[in-house]
Amino acid sequence: GLLTMRTLGRNMAFLIKSIKLGKEEMSLPEKEPFVGTNFIRKV
């Protein structure tokens, strides 16, 4: 959902920056804490 899209956007920005900067040192992107959701009701 939204967490996946935010993570993909952050990773894509990191990839573009790292390609642009070449081999200059750059830290890894921060990971967002996992928040599990369950929208299926159990009967």
C-alpha 34/C-alpha 13 separation (Å) is: 20
Q: What's the pLDDT tens digit per position in 13-33?
A: 988 888 777 666 666 778 889
Reported as a pLDDT band with limits 50, 70 and 90, residue 8 is very high
Do 3 and 33 contact (CB within 8 A), yes or no?
no
CB burial class (10 A; 0-12, 13-18, 19+) of residue 34? Answer: exposed
Q: What is the DSSP letter of 24?
A: S
Give residue 4's pLDDT band: very low, low, confident or very high (50, 70, 90).
Answer: very high
